[in-house]
């Protein structure tokens, strides 16, 4: 077969030389592993059981809802594999390789961190194709039973297919950002909880038919929203992909610069999209300001929600980093002209620059929220929220450590305060529309607001449960961080006390000890082999 292929497409080198070696290795390990085939046959067996159950049920179960019910069951099984099995499997491989000093292997091999992460993502996409090929006949069977339209099936499958690479990058970012094995395992536990939540949330949305979207798709607002969401999705993939690749880089300066650059590019993309929508509706369609607000209120809230996520991410990296630049940055950034240096200033590492970026982002978020009506309470809550999880932890860290600076400890305390604050706001505002903007974890808020729209307000308790579980998992790490800060503070205090005591003894010896002449005589006697005179 290879000779026939080379006859039509002649080339000298093997085609595998052009493929990602991490991709080939992961696929080889996946195909040879028994766990993969066990899960695949279990998925096939569960689908067959669902089909047999639909045939063997009573006659009252047949009707227009049978195909829809079967599709939802198949869809839940598909999502469990895509959002729980694949991220956990590849995330565990990524964890094991990061524990084996992957940064040293990067220096030895010719692979860059981005190619390593790309190999993991591509292998996850190919495994997803295999899972889709197993599930496709059963989904076609559910369509033949009627009760479900083609648009809903296409919408559900495409959303799952697009969100899986994003969730993979998010998983590798969480796993790579933790240096200890206990933290990596804790992040994998959160990934499993998030996979369960995403699975049943998508099943909840797909349960509503999407025929209305076809009728409204060709309207300007629908086209704009579709393009906006797709560009936003590409920005999220780029952000988490660059963050996962940066977690493999040894130098902190390079890691911070890559994450901050992706952050600023996403912020610029959102500003461009929002201003483009404003120009289109205000000057092209010539609508009033109130009409524009009613049109773009969802877009504004969408932008504000994910700016909130950016603030959480930025708080972990931007105000916990040490000053200074790496050799690569010194040889590249500082050779640029002055007009480029001003823009690159925000990309270079340093806690002061990170705090400035946070403040500018907070003001931008408040400005976008102010475009909506009746949001003074939300503005006040956002302002206090931003100050709470950025300023208070930093002041606490400086109070506990003094001049000693410990970035990992800062991140632990910031995450601890952030989770506590989210749980409190979720409890206080769970029965208020303001919860759409201040609930637990920004990526959950959009789904919660949709659940309010469909009058399923019990869904709001799900983020509170997830946040509480996160807090319980994080409490040991936070306690260890506070204990470490206390030990560092006591150690520095004892060190200073010892230095002062040594200084006093030295000054006392200079006053009451032997004179310089006596010291010279003792040295001469030691050199001559005689006993020194006392």
For residue range 281-306, what is the model confidence (pLDDT) as tens digits?
Answer: 666 666 665 555 555 555 555 555 55
The tens digit of pLDDT for each residue in 370-380 reads 555 444 445 45
Look at residue 418 and tell me whether its pLDDT is greater than 80. no
pLDDT of amino acid 184 = 73
Q: How confident is the model at residue 154 (pLDDT cuts 50, 70, 90)?
A: confident
pLDDT of amino acid 440 = 36
C-alpha distances (whole Å) from 303 to each of 226, 307, 325, 443, 444 are 14, 6, 32, 11, 14
Look at residue 5 and tell me whether its pLDDT is greater than 50. no
pLDDT of amino acid 33 = 80
- Which position has the token pair 């949001």? 375
pLDDT of amino acid 44 = 82
Q: Helix 461-512 and helix 376-401: axis angle, to 10°? A: 30
pLDDT of amino acid 179 = 65
- The answer to whether 310 and 347 have CB atoms below 8 angstroms apart is no
- The answer to whether 236 and 166 have CB atoms below 8 angstroms apart is yes
Look at residue 366 and tell me whether its pLDDT is greater than 70. no
- Decide which of 455 and 323 is more confident: 323
Burial (CB < 10 A; 0-12, 13-18, 19+), residue 76, is middle
Q: Looking at 348-506, which runs of residues are DSSP E strands?
A: none
Q: DSSP per residue over 182-248, as a string?
A: HHHHHHHHHHHHHHHHHHHHHHHHHTS--HHHHHHTTSHHHHHHHHHHHHHHHHHHHHHHHHHHHTT
pLDDT of amino acid 24 = 80
- Decide which of 216 and 223 is more confident: 223
- If you average pLDDT over residues 97-113, what whole number do you get? 62
Look at residue 142 and tell me whether its pLDDT is greater than 70. yes
- The answer to whether 426 and 407 have CB atoms below 8 angstroms apart is no
- Alpha carbons 398 and 334: distance in angstroms, whole number: 31
Burial (CB < 10 A; 0-12, 13-18, 19+), residue 392, is middle
Mention every residue, 6+ apart, whose C-beta is less than 8 A from residue 241: 114, 117, 118, 121, 169
Average pLDDT score, the chain: 64
Backbone angles phi, psi at 327, to 5 degrees: -65, -40
* 3-state SS assignment for residue 481: helix
Q: In the chain, count of helices (H) and strands (E)?
A: 22, 0
């Amino acid at each position: 077969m290879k000779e026939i292929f080379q006859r039509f497409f002649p080339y000298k080198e093997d085609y595998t030389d052009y493929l990602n070696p991490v991709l080939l290795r992961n696929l080889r390990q996946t195909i040879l592993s028994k766990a993969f085939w066990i899960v695949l046959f279990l998925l096939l067996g569960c689908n067959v059981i669902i089909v047999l159950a639909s045939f063997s049920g009573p006659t009252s179960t047949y009707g227009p809802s049978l195909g829809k019910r079967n599709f939802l069951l198949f869809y839940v099984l598909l999502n469990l594999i895509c959002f729980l099995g694949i991220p956990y499997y590849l995330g565990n491989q990524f964890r094991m390789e990061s524990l084996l000093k992957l940064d040293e292997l990067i220096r030895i091999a010719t692979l860059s961190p981005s190619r390593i992460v790309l190999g993991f993502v591509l292998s996850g996409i190919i495994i997803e194709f295999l899972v889709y090929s197993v599930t496709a006949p059963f989904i076609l069977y559910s369509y033949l039973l009627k009760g479900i339209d083609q648009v809903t099936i296409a919408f559900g499958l495409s959303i799952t297919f697009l969100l899986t690479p994003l969730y993979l990058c998010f998983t590798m970012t969480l796993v790579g950002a933790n240096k200890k094995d206990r933290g990596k395992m804790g992040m994998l536990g959160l990934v499993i909880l998030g996979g369960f939540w995403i699975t049943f949330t998508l099943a909840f949305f797909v349960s509503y038919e999407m025929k209305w979207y076809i009728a409204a798709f060709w309207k300007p607002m629908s086209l704009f929203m579709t393009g906006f969401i797709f560009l936003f999705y590409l920005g999220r993939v780029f952000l988490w992909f660059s963050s996962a690749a940066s977690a493999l880089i040894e130098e902190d300066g390079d890691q911070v610069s890559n994450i901050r650059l992706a952050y600023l590019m996403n912020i610029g993309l959102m500003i461009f999209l929002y201003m483009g929508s404003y120009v289109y509706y205000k000057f092209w369609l010539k609508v009033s300001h109130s009409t524009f607000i009613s049109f773009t209120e969802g877009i504004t809230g969408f932008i504000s929600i994910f700016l909130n996520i950016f603030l959480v991410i930025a708080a972990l990296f931007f105000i916990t980093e040490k000053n200074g630049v790496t050799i690569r940055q010194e040889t590249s950034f500082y050779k640029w002209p002055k007009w480029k240096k001003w823009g690159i200033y925000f990309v270079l590492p340093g806690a002061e620059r990170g705090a400035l970026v946070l403040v500018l982002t907070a003001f931008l978020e408040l400005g976008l929220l102010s475009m909506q009506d009746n949001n003074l309470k939300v503005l006040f809550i956002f302002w206090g929220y931003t100050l709470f999880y950025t300023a208070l932890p930093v002041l606490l860290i400086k109070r506990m450590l003094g001049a000693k600076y410990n970035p990992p400890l800062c991140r632990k305390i910031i995450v601890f305060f952030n989770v506590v604050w989210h749980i409190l706001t979720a409890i206080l505002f769970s029965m208020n529309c303001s919860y759409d903007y201040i609930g637990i974890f920004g990526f959950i808020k959009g789904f919660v607001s949709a659940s309010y729209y469909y009058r399923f307000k019990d869904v709001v308790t799900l983020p509170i449960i997830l946040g509480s579980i996160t807090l319980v998992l994080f409490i040991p790490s936070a306690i260890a961080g506070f204990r470490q800060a206390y030990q560092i503070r006591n150690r520095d205090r004892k060190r200073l006390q010892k230095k002062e005591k040594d200084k006093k003894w030295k000054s006392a010896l200079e006053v009451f000890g032997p004179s310089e002449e006596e010291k010279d005589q003792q040295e001469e006697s030691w050199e001559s082999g005689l006993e020194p005179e006392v």
